[in-house]
Chains A and B, each alone.
Chain A
Amino acid sequence: MPSINRSKTKTPMPSQDAKLRSKNFNEVALGYTEEDAINEAQRCLNCKKPSCMEGCPVQVQIPRFIKHIAEKNFESAISVIKETNSLPAVCGRVCPQEEQCEQKCVLAKRGDPVGIGRLERFAADWERQQGVKIPDRANPIGKKVAIIGSGPAGLTCAGDLAKLGYDVTVFEAFHEPGGVLIYGIPEFRLPKEIVKQEVDFLKKLGVNVQTDMVMGKVLTVDDIFEKGYEAVFIGTGAGLPKFMKIPGENYLGVYSANEFLTRINLMKAYKFPETDTPVKVGKKVAVVGGGNVAMDSARSALRMGAEEVYIVYRRSESEMPARKEEFEHAKEEGIIFKFLTNPTRIIGDEKGWVKGLECIQMELGEPDASGRRRPVPIKGSEFTLDMDTVVIAIGTGPNPLLIEATEGLKLNKYGYIETDEDGRTSKEGVWAGGDIVTGSATVILAMGAGKKAAQSIHEYLQGK
Chain B
Amino acid sequence: MFQIIDKKDLAPSIKQFVVDAPLVAQKARPGQFIILRIKEGGERIPLTIADYDTQKGTITIVFQEVGKTTKELGTLKAGDYLADFVGPLGKAVEFSNHKKVLGIGGGLGVAPLYPKLKMLHENGAEVISIIGAKTADMLIMEEEIKAVSDKTYVCTDDGSKGRHGFVTVVLKELLEQGEKFDEIIIIGPPILMKIGTEIAKPYNIPIMVSLNPIMIDGTGMCGGCRVTVGGETKFVCVDGPAFDGSKVDFDELMKRLQTYTSEEKLALDKYHSERGACKCHQ
Interface residues of A (CB under 8 A from B): 173-175, 211-214, 217-219, 239-241, 243, 249-250, 252-253, 255-256, 258-259, 262-263, 267-268, 271-278, 280, 351-352, 399-401
Return A180 CB to nearest CB of chain B, in Å: 11
Chain B residues numbered 33-81 whose CB sits less than 8 Å from any CB in chain A = 37, 41-44, 68-69
Task: Verify if B173 is at the interface (C-beta below 8 Å from A).
Answer: no
**Cβ-defined contact, B24 with A262, below 8 A:** no
Known contacts A218-B23, A241-B223; A267/B87 CB under 8 A: no
Selected contact of A252 from candidates B84, B217, B228, B259, CB within 8 Å: B259
A399 to B256, CA, bound (A): 24
CB neighbours (8 Å) of B88 from chain A are: 217-218
**Cβ-defined contact, B87 with A218, below 8 A:** yes
Chain B residues numbered 185-226 whose CB sits less than 8 Å from any CB in chain A = 216-224, 226
- The B interface is mostly helix, strand or loop, or mixed, namely mixed
**Cβ-defined contact, A217 with B221, below 8 A:** no
**Cβ-defined contact, A276 with B41, below 8 A:** yes
Residue contacts A-B, CB under 8 angstroms, 18 given: A173-B219, A175-B84, A212-B86, A217-B87, A218-B87, A218-B88, A239-B220, A239-B221, A250-B233, A255-B224, A259-B216, A259-B222, A262-B221, A275-B43, A276-B42, A278-B260, A351-B255, A352-B252
Interface residues of B (CB under 8 A from A): 23-24, 27, 37, 41-44, 68-69, 83-89, 216-224, 226-228, 233, 238, 252, 255-256, 258-260, 263-264, 266-267, 270
CB neighbours (8 Å) of B238 from chain A are: 401
CB neighbours (8 Å) of B255 from chain A are: 252, 351-352
**Cβ-defined contact, B260 with A280, below 8 A:** yes
Q: Which residue of B lies closest to A274 (CB)?
A: B41
A150 to B68, CA, bound (A): 31
**Cβ-defined contact, A258 with B226, below 8 A:** no
Return A148 CB to nearest CB of chain B, in Å: 12
Known contacts A250-B233, A262-B221, A401-B238; A278/B264 CB under 8 A: yes
Known contacts A175-B37, A274-B41; A399/B259 CB under 8 A: no
**Cβ-defined contact, A399 with B233, below 8 A:** no
CB neighbours (8 Å) of B227 from chain A are: 250
A399 to B217, CA, bound (A): 13
**Cβ-defined contact, B27 with A218, below 8 A:** yes
Return B83 CB to nearest CB of chain A, in Å: 7
Selected contact of A250 from candidates B43, B84, B252, CB within 8 Å: B252
Q: Which residue of A lies closest to B221 (CB)?
A: A239
A240 to B233, CA, bound (A): 13
**Cβ-defined contact, A175 with B267, below 8 A:** no
Return A36 CB to nearest CB of chain B, in Å: 36
**Cβ-defined contact, B224 with A259, below 8 A:** yes
**Cβ-defined contact, A268 with B41, below 8 A:** yes
A441 to B232, CA, bound (A): 29
**Cβ-defined contact, A241 with B270, below 8 A:** no
